[in-house]
Chains A and B, each alone.
Chain A
Amino acid sequence: MKTASSDSRTETDFSETEAAFATFIRRLIQDAATLRAIDSGEVDAILDPVSGRAILLPEAREALRQSEVPTNQVLATLPREEYQRLRAGLELVTLTFGDVLHEPGELIQHIYFPNEGLLVSLLTLVQDRMGLEIGLVGSEGMVGLPVAQGIDTSSVRAVVQGTGTALRMESSQFRQALETSPALQRTLHRYTYALIAQITQTAACSRFHQVEARLARWLLMASDRLQSNSIHFTQEWLADLLGVRRVGVTLAASALQQQRLIQYSRGNITILDREGLKASACECYQKIKDIFDRA
């Protein structure tokens, strides 16, 4: 499995390397008028002919950050000033399927606020290999919650499902930021309560409910967090998450498909009838949803 790393595809930033590059480009610019415009602060971005990207100059980058509306719901609840203070320390990263954000027993280097469209599974490992999904985090939450409670190691494996973006911050920096942001503290208290409720409900669900009902529950939860009716997943991966044999997922998915609740082909699952799928899901879906809605 891969480890998440910073990616500049989404946000063109003025990192140290790029600052050096900008100096280099500046030397190459022969046109006096362009140089004057740069010197007098009239330029927002420089285009890099090699990478084909636009490099934002610091003032432009800051202005764009300040005008940005966060899609992560934890961040969106913060008063504008508190968000902007926090945003300065947050880095936008692109994450892809299979990226491991945290490992059990290991230091949590970064905390992540998933943006819309990113889904992260929290897995509890048994015998160090089999991972049962005990929690699902999307843009409604945060990955690395122990850091907010003063704990610096993870008890779960956090794995990215699908490709999307997140805002991340170094754990130590986040701890300091949290101390000066009462609104963030309040939001995370509520989110912690909701996530614990999700985990406890999932534990009971895994023991008592049938695969078909659990699969329906999982699809609805994933769909809510992705805000999409299309989910890309292989049956093998789903079987691992739900802690069942692959054939169990195949049978459950076929049953849901026969009822025309979902359509399944080559790892693409489309929810056709949301209400019908809710009726097929165990009560856990609605219970978890109600707790999140109230929190």
Chain B
Amino acid sequence: MRRKPIVIPSDSAAVTAAVVMRLYVVGGAPNSVQALANLEAICQRQLKGSYQLEVVDVLEQPLRALADGVIVTPSLIKLSPLPAAQIVGNLSDKSKVQRALGLEEKIW
């Protein structure tokens, strides 16, 4: 089952602060499924609604990945706010993802 590119819109109030990301995956492949789940968990907890995530299946759109400088999947690209960042793998290392997204680790 291939996943179509989806966009999760940000809350309108937080547009300026929204984190814009693109996740390159192979829909249905284990690491890609895990990367998406890991990313969504982090986003929902720390970014609440204030993010945009586009998921691109490289079996359907390989050229988009290459244009973005992606050579392996899963790859997450943070497009905004700058500086842009890229992180590869299944995103199970939460602190690495948080650093790439410019999120502070919450101290409880």
Contacts and interface: CB of A to CB of B under 8 A. Distances in A.
Please indicate which of the listed interface residues B25, B28, B62 has the most CB atoms of chain A within 10 Å of its own CB. B62
Contacts of A42: 31, 74, 88-90, 92
A25 B30 CA distance: 22
A95 B28 CA distance: 26
B30 A45 contact: no
Please indicate which of the listed interface residues A12, A36, A56, A60 has the most CB atoms of chain B within 10 Å of its own CB. A60
B73 A63 contact: no
Nearest to B57: A54
B14 interface: no
B89 A67 contact: no
B1 interface: yes
Interface string A37-77: 11011111111010011101001100110010000000000
A1 interface: no
Contact of B72 (A45, A52, A53, A67): A45
Interface in B17-60: 25-26, 28-32, 58-59
Chain A interface size, as a band, is 20 to 34
A200 interface: no
A60 to B, nearest CB: 4
Contacts of A67: 1, 28
A41 B35 CA distance: 13
B30 A33 contact: no
Contacts of B62: 47, 52-54
Chain B interface size, as a band, is 20 to 34
A43 B66 contact: no
Contacts of A12: 59
Given A42-B89, A47-B66, A56 B71 contact: no
A45 B63 contact: no
A274 B83 CA distance: 60
Given A29-B71, A34-B88, A45-B26, 10 more contacts: A34-B71, A43-B88, A44-B26, A44-B32, A53-B62, A54-B59, A54-B62, A59-B30, A60-B30, A64-B29
Top 4 closest A-B pairs, CB basis?
A42-B89, A60-B29, A37-B89, A44-B29
Interface of A: 12, 25, 29, 33-34, 36-38, 40-47, 49, 52-54, 56, 59-60, 63-64, 67
24 contacts: A12-B59, A25-B71, A29-B71, A33-B87, A33-B88, A34-B88, A37-B89, A42-B89, A43-B31, A43-B73, A43-B89, A44-B31, A45-B29, A46-B71, A47-B65, A47-B66, A52-B62, A52-B66, A54-B65, A59-B29, A60-B29, A60-B30, A60-B31, A67-B28
